[in-house]
Amino acid sequence: MLKTTRCAAAALALAFAAAADPPAGLSGANSSAELNAHALASLKGKTVAWLPVNMGVPLTEIWTKVMREEAQARGMKLVMRDPNFSTTAGLQALSSLIGDKPDLLVVHNPNVQLYAKELKRAEEAGIPVIQVNMVSNYKTAAYIGPDWNAVGRLLGQEVIRQCGSGSGKSGKVSVIQGELTSGVSIGQMEGLNAAFAKDPSIRVVSSQAGNWDANKAHDITATVLQQHPDLCASVGFWSTMEIGAAQAIKSAGKLGQVKVYASGGEGKVDCENVDSGLITKVLSYDAPDQAKAIIQVGSFILQSGARPDAFRVANFSTLHWMEKGKYDPALCYDWTL
């Protein structure tokens, strides 16, 4: 198990101390009952607006399910808009949500630029914004998700172990990115390149955008295998997309020979794919844990009374390696329940 920093609460506390006065009526001398009353009053009836990139995949479904449960437990309600991978629909939905003036806005950015102006407008309208997994060029109150540079670096180190100097293998690697301008792709590519730079025997023979589409990942990989039958590894920036690459490798009769690596947080699906040998290893982040963190950090923001632009914090998700017979069963959550 690999851990990144998980200190959102402490970071928020420091930020609040520096950027905002204590909530009206509360001080260190208040009773526990008064603190309880303040917390409940700060959250009761509040609306959390949620804009994913799309629904219908394990990651966003589990985020939505857990966020709704966590919000309701605190007396809040969750509203959601599904743009279904359409950037036009997503931008329209974001503009509409800002107009509705929710108490908290949670956004999953398709790329680093699309929502930047609208996120700034949301803050100017007094709406605190939490970004999840894919960060924008415009940084809002909080980011919750993996440190993607670290994810890319760790994936690269695994590839080097299997395909690098002294392995007796070709060192050839195919990389399937998501959308090239997404925070996920940019961060993982930076980390991957940094790792590969330390072993000159590693050669990236293909680095293409799969645009989160398993069918496109399949077709790219099938072509790469024709051009490089001695390919050593395929690295995908999302396990759901990388299934397509793995299927192409399997169809070519090279499963096991060509190592398949991916990042993801798809729960039961990831467990099934590593158990079957379709994917060699997944570097996973716990999606239910992320969803809980979103509402926890959101509740701190709402209780603080701080203005939306008063601080900038991040809660980096804990990372877990998953391979056949070696993973925490708790990561096999079933999003269909």
Contacts of residue 52, defined as CB under 8 A and 6 or more positions apart, other chains included, come to 60, 63, 64, 80, 82, 83, 108
The string of pLDDT tens digits covering residues 286-311 is: 999 999 999 999 999 999 989 999 88
Mean pLDDT of 313-337: 91
The string of pLDDT tens digits covering residues 211-225 is: 999 999 999 999 999
Contacts of residue 229, defined as CB under 8 A and 6 or more positions apart, other chains included, come to none
Give the model's pLDDT for residue 336.
Answer: 74
| Domain extents in the chain | 8-146+286-318, 148-284+324-330
Instruction: Provide the mean pLDDT of the chain.
Output: 92
**Superfamily the domain 8-146+286-318 falls into:** Response regulator (3.40.50.2300)
Cα–Cα distance between 270 and 276 in angstroms, integer? 10
Quick one: pLDDT band at residue 10, thresholds 50, 70, 90? very low
The string of pLDDT tens digits covering residues 151-202 is: 999 999 999 999 999 999 999 999 999 999 999 999 999 999 999 999 999 9
Same fold, 8-146+286-318 and 148-284+324-330: yes
CATH number belonging to domain 148-284+324-330: 3.40.50.2300
